[in-house]
Chain A
Amino acid sequence: MPDGPYLGNAQFMQSLALILVVLVLAVVGFRFGRGQSIKVVEGNARRLHSLPGYHGLYVALWCGGPALILLAVWLSLEPTILKHLVLGALPTEMLQKPDGSPLGVARLELLLNDIRNTAAGNVASTANAYIQDAAARYQSLQQTSYAAMAVVVLSLAVAGAAWAFRFIHADFRARNRVEMIIRGFMIACSMVAILTTVGIILSLLFESMRFFAVVPVTDFLFGLDWSPQMALRADQVGSSGAFGAVPLFLGTLLISGIAMAVAVPVGLLSAIYMAEYAPRKVRAVVKPLLEILAGIPTVVYGFFAALTVAPAFRGLGESIGLDVSSESALAAGIVMGIMIVPFVSSLSDDVITAVPNSMREGSYGLGATKSETIKRVIIPAALPGIVGGVLLAVSRAIGETMIVVMAAGLSANLSVNPLEAVTTVTVQIVTLLVGDQEFDSPKTLAAFALGLVLFMVTLALNVVALHVVRKYREQYE
């Protein structure tokens, strides 16, 4: 069953209408502010410190800014508050399992969905009287909330405009104020990057801690057995719920290794050819073509790997008497390698062309051939940059998801045979989190622990790679 509406269509439209009204108010405020500033100097705009437009803008910002911020906060908090109010009003037996223990998060969500669906007028799955009551309550609360929000937001907009309006006089430094506000906005925007990183770290750490409270860290990092299916009933067979991630790490390394074995030679050699040998015309055609390879969505590569490459390898293996799994690491790895080729080649191209020409000419002057110059002079000079690029490519291979989800296996084999099916960290994150989720089971939380490992490893690779690349660039600039 698809999830119930979060905000009904009507409410979405209502909120949109409210935003539009606030924006119209801001425009009106702008016109009034500008008019007022001209009026206070009796039409002689040169007496104003700031241009009339800045006075108008000041009023508009005070009118729209606080009101829209309040609106956003209200809308983001409303569902949580409504949920508590509605669930709190339900009789306690509705919130308990038959044995008297409290309901899990997922069951509560289901209950809430029922209430929302009933409130939205959809056919109720259970004609429970309590749910009908709760739905009525939910609806009335929602309406009250919207009415209150509209009143508060609109009065805030008007009050803000009036407050700013009072300041308008000839010496008022409206431009400086407006510039300060805009500057503040820009600083806030540049903080988003930091907030994102903090958000990633905190959310991964927080959920991983909860996981490690159930499964010890050492079991997770060094355990050799991965079978995250938890037993639903005590008598179930083979559902012990083992969380040893070593098979996943090994599988990830295997597939990434195959990918790099394809991507590094092909990418590097094609970059060298493009930078040193290719005539201008060839370069102009081939470079965009390689960029197409980089622009293809990974889901397309996944489809290609699963439906074309893997069966081809399987058939090839059968014809020479090898048993190739239909989800072999080889197929996923090779397709992933093709995906990474343009990444490696464009990064290496940059560093190779950055090697100063004097070095090439010196080598030619000593009688070296082109390939000798490349092998003995250019590559050693460009090596730090190339290594940095390769490290970035490794981090991409490790974090790549769709190709392996579609073409690699699900079962965690502790194997380094590229013809067998192995699974990777990203595949397991997807399988653990897609489908029904209960946020209190170690099965779900394990995905966050895997995510934390993935984040840490790729972060370390990126930091080292960026450091190497940057250090190298400084040498020649």
Chain B
Amino acid sequence: MATAEQQVEMTTSQKDILSRQSRISETVNAGLKSRYRSEARFRAYGAGAIVLALVMLVLLFVTIIGKGYTAFVQTELQLTIATSGEALGIGNDRDAAALNRADYQAQIKASLRDMFPDVTGRKERRDLYGMVSDGAAYALRDALAENPALIGQKVTLQVPVASDIDMLHKGQIDRTVAEAERKVNDFQIGIYDRWVSMGTIGLHFNTALFTQGDSRQPELAGIWGAAVGSFYTLIVTLALSFPIGVAAAVYLEEFAPKNRWTDLIEVNINNLAAVPSIVFGLLGLAVFLQFFGMPRSAPVAGGLVLTLMNLPIIIIASRAALKSVPPSIREAALGLGASKLQTILHHVLPLAMPGMLTGTIIGMAHALGETAPLLMIGMVAFVVDIPMTPMDSATVLPVQIYLWADSPERAFVERTSAAIMVLLAFLVTMNAAAVLLRKKFERRW
């Protein structure tokens, strides 16, 4: 009996548990649906965030490429010029001095008049002359300087047209807009259409973009000056920041005792990595330009500022590379009687070098894209000449982009985008080199 009662009791308690369990699972099951829904929702948010970021990336590239690809070609006019000493204003002189003072502009105008004898009005003629770029006169000058014997003969040249006509040819100017609100008037459009029907106007590769310095006229402006400026600036930065960065990293990682002083250095490096770049520009302005009297706008000063900015990046990367070299290497070298410096120079540094180089390349890519601190030290100057030394006035690619982006001319928009494409191509190359270097020399210990 007792056992039977006990059994009954047990079954009731078991029932109790069972019913409680079923109640729990009921509650759980009731909530499951909404919990799974919220799970899916959360997951979708995450995927959405990534998609949003990637859409922005694509949008950025599409707009820049879409705006800029036309800048790689330039509308040029095939102009036949009946050169003569009289039209050039030099009579029978053919020496260098005469060629220097010759009026090539007048010669171009004369050949335009020959092309359209029916254009007689003053205003019309002025409009006609305005359709051809100043670059036409330079092209003629170069052709004649190469071969002065051409004077007196008919010369056929491909000359750039003015940027507005270039825009018209590339379909950027809407003909349906009222004449007063258009950059190109009806007369000029008429001339343009005649050029098209004559087959003398066409698109050619834009060599000026890659060989010239800056210019106020879009059709003559190029990025070569800025590219050379960037090159000098980066050379100075590399020459200073790599040795200093590596030496500092080796000292901090391998030699430095752990004390307050090295702690201070470490905190400093970490903080400097996060200081806004424009503050480095202020430092450069106050110290390098004002105090040391360095030249404004020069790649030397720019390189120094970028060095200070880059050092933390290089030091942090180099220290990580040194850390990844296993201690057994050091112990083996020390055990064979090498001094501490010999151990590091002969064994640790070569093994850490790929990592250090990767960090340096990434730092240099950063420096190549940096703009704000260089504005502070005057690298926004309008520089037409290609800099010859790091002491000359120069600008750099990102600053050139900034300057062109500020220009009101429609034709500068496509050139800005083209310059951005060139800059991004450099950056992609540098980063790809860093990735390859890492892949090639990566070691698992």
A396 to B279, CA, bound (A): 12
- Residues in A whose Cβ lies below 8 Å from that of B295: 3, 5-7
- A134: interface (CB < 8 Å): no
The 8 A CB mask of B20-46 against A (1 = contact, 0 = none) is 000000001000000110110111011
- The answer to whether B286 and A203 have CB atoms under 8 Å apart is yes
- B271: interface (CB < 8 Å): yes
- The answer to whether A458 and B365 have CB atoms under 8 Å apart is no
The 8 A CB mask of B361-403 against A (1 = contact, 0 = none) is 0000100111110011010111101001111110000110110
- The answer to whether A273 and B47 have CB atoms under 8 Å apart is yes
- Residues in A whose Cβ lies below 8 Å from that of B265: 190-191, 193-194
A430 to B390, CA, bound (A): 24
- The answer to whether A289 and B45 have CB atoms under 8 Å apart is no
- The answer to whether B52 and A266 have CB atoms under 8 Å apart is yes
Q: Pick out which of these stretches binds chain A: B1-9, B56-64, B110-118, B198-206.
A: B56-64
Known: A5-B391, A426-B276, A458-B276. A289 touches B39 (CB 8 A): no
- Residues in B whose Cβ lies below 8 Å from that of A301: 60
| Of the residues A83, A182, A266, A448, contact of B49 by C-beta under 8 Å | A266
- Residues in B whose Cβ lies below 8 Å from that of A199: 283, 287
CB distance from A295 to the nearest CB of B (A): 6
- The answer to whether B282 and A189 have CB atoms under 8 Å apart is no
The 8 A CB mask of A391-412 against B (1 = contact, 0 = none) is 0100110111110011000000
| Of the residues B38, B423, B427, contact of A371 by C-beta under 8 Å | B38
Binding site secondary structure of chain B: helix
- The answer to whether B371 and A3 have CB atoms under 8 Å apart is no
- The answer to whether A299 and B398 have CB atoms under 8 Å apart is yes
- The answer to whether B286 and A207 have CB atoms under 8 Å apart is yes
- A274: interface (CB < 8 Å): yes
- Residues in A whose Cβ lies below 8 Å from that of B285: 433
A372 to B36, CA, bound (A): 10
B56 nearest CB neighbor, chain A only? A338
A79 nearest CB neighbor, chain B only? B293
A429 to B315, CA, bound (A): 29
A180 nearest CB neighbor, chain B only? B341
- The answer to whether A306 and B272 have CB atoms under 8 Å apart is no
- The answer to whether A398 and B276 have CB atoms under 8 Å apart is yes
- The answer to whether B311 and A196 have CB atoms under 8 Å apart is yes
- The answer to whether A447 and B64 have CB atoms under 8 Å apart is no
- Residues in A whose Cβ lies below 8 Å from that of B269: 193
CB distance from A473 to the nearest CB of B (A): 13
- A49: interface (CB < 8 Å): no
B390 nearest CB neighbor, chain A only? A12
- The answer to whether B278 and A370 have CB atoms under 8 Å apart is no
The 8 A CB mask of B250-281 against A (1 = contact, 0 = none) is 11100110000000110111111011111110
- The answer to whether A371 and B271 have CB atoms under 8 Å apart is no
- The answer to whether A270 and B43 have CB atoms under 8 Å apart is no
- The answer to whether A189 and B52 have CB atoms under 8 Å apart is no
- Residues in A whose Cβ lies below 8 Å from that of B251: 183, 186-187, 189-190
- The answer to whether A179 and B339 have CB atoms under 8 Å apart is yes
- B14: interface (CB < 8 Å): no
- The answer to whether A6 and B298 have CB atoms under 8 Å apart is yes
CB distance from B377 to the nearest CB of A (A): 9
A175 to B390, CA, bound (A): 37
A197 to B269, CA, bound (A): 9
A217 to B52, CA, bound (A): 44
- B109: interface (CB < 8 Å): no
Q: Pick out which of these stretches binds chain B: A28-36, A60-68, A152-160, A459-467.
A: A459-467
- Residues in B whose Cβ lies below 8 Å from that of A465: 274
A273 to B42, CA, bound (A): 9
- The answer to whether B36 and A369 have CB atoms under 8 Å apart is yes
- The answer to whether B247 and A3 have CB atoms under 8 Å apart is no
Known: A186-B250, A193-B311, A196-B283. A371 touches B276 (CB 8 A): no
CB distance from A448 to the nearest CB of B (A): 6
| Of the residues B39, B48, B278, contact of A269 by C-beta under 8 Å | B48
A239 to B346, CA, bound (A): 66
| Of the residues A6, A194, A266, A399, contact of B278 by C-beta under 8 Å | A399
- Residues in B whose Cβ lies below 8 Å from that of A186: 247-248, 250-251, 255
CB distance from B310 to the nearest CB of A (A): 11
A345 to B61, CA, bound (A): 21
| Of the residues A9, A175, A286, contact of B389 by C-beta under 8 Å | A9
A200 to B28, CA, bound (A): 61
A27 to B340, CA, bound (A): 25
- A384: interface (CB < 8 Å): no
| Of the residues A83, A204, A308, contact of B63 by C-beta under 8 Å | A308
- B74: interface (CB < 8 Å): no
Known: A6-B294, A200-B283, A273-B50. A454 touches B276 (CB 8 A): yes
- Residues in B whose Cβ lies below 8 Å from that of A296: 60, 369, 424, 427
- The answer to whether A406 and B405 have CB atoms under 8 Å apart is yes
The 8 A CB mask of A98-111 against B (1 = contact, 0 = none) is 00000000000000
- The answer to whether B276 and A401 have CB atoms under 8 Å apart is yes
CB distance from B426 to the nearest CB of A (A): 10
A200 nearest CB neighbor, chain B only? B283
A273 to B43, CA, bound (A): 7
- The answer to whether A277 and B49 have CB atoms under 8 Å apart is no
- B416: interface (CB < 8 Å): yes
- The answer to whether B46 and A462 have CB atoms under 8 Å apart is no
- A300: interface (CB < 8 Å): yes
Known: A9-B389, A296-B60. A338 touches B53 (CB 8 A): yes
The 8 A CB mask of B99-116 against A (1 = contact, 0 = none) is 000000000000000000
- Residues in A whose Cβ lies below 8 Å from that of B50: 269-270, 273-274, 286, 290
- B229: interface (CB < 8 Å): no
- A130: interface (CB < 8 Å): no
- The answer to whether A439 and B290 have CB atoms under 8 Å apart is yes
B244 nearest CB neighbor, chain A only? A189
- A151: interface (CB < 8 Å): no
Known: A190-B248, A399-B278, A400-B276. A300 touches B49 (CB 8 A): no
Most buried by B among A12, A308, A371, A466: A371
- B411: interface (CB < 8 Å): no
- A185: interface (CB < 8 Å): yes
- A434: interface (CB < 8 Å): yes
- Residues in B whose Cβ lies below 8 Å from that of A367: 28
Known: A286-B54, A298-B371. A371 touches B250 (CB 8 A): no
- Residues in A whose Cβ lies below 8 Å from that of B276: 395-396, 398-401, 426, 454-455, 458
- The answer to whether A401 and B371 have CB atoms under 8 Å apart is yes
B423 nearest CB neighbor, chain A only? A297
| Of the residues A12, A187, A405, A454, contact of B279 by C-beta under 8 Å | A454
Most buried by A among B243, B244, B252, B275: B275
- The answer to whether B286 and A303 have CB atoms under 8 Å apart is no
- Residues in A whose Cβ lies below 8 Å from that of B287: 199, 203
- The answer to whether A289 and B271 have CB atoms under 8 Å apart is no
- Residues in A whose Cβ lies below 8 Å from that of B77: none
A297 to B397, CA, bound (A): 11
B298 nearest CB neighbor, chain A only? A6
- Residues in B whose Cβ lies below 8 Å from that of A175: 339
- The answer to whether A269 and B49 have CB atoms under 8 Å apart is yes
CB distance from B89 to the nearest CB of A (A): 22
Q: Can you show 13 pairs from A to B with CB atoms below 8 A apart?
A: A7-B391, A183-B341, A189-B248, A192-B244, A192-B308, A197-B268, A289-B57, A295-B365, A297-B368, A297-B423, A303-B420, A306-B405, A401-B371
Q: Which residues of B contact A (CB under 8 A)?
A: 28, 35-36, 38-39, 41-43, 45-50, 52-54, 56-57, 59-60, 63-64, 67, 243-245, 247-248, 250-252, 255-256, 264-265, 267-272, 274-280, 282-283, 285-287, 290, 292-298, 308, 311-312, 315, 339-341, 365, 368-372, 375-376, 378, 380-383, 385, 388-393, 398-399, 401-402, 405-406, 413, 416-417, 420, 423-424, 427, 431
Give the top 9 A-B pairs by smallest Cβ distance, nearest first. Answer: A399-B276, A273-B46, A297-B369, A6-B295, A203-B286, A269-B49, A371-B42, A401-B372, A186-B251
Q: A183-B341, A266-B53, A426-B372 are in contact. List 9 more A-B contacts (CB 8 A).
A: A9-B392, A194-B268, A273-B47, A299-B398, A303-B401, A371-B39, A392-B274, A399-B275, A454-B276
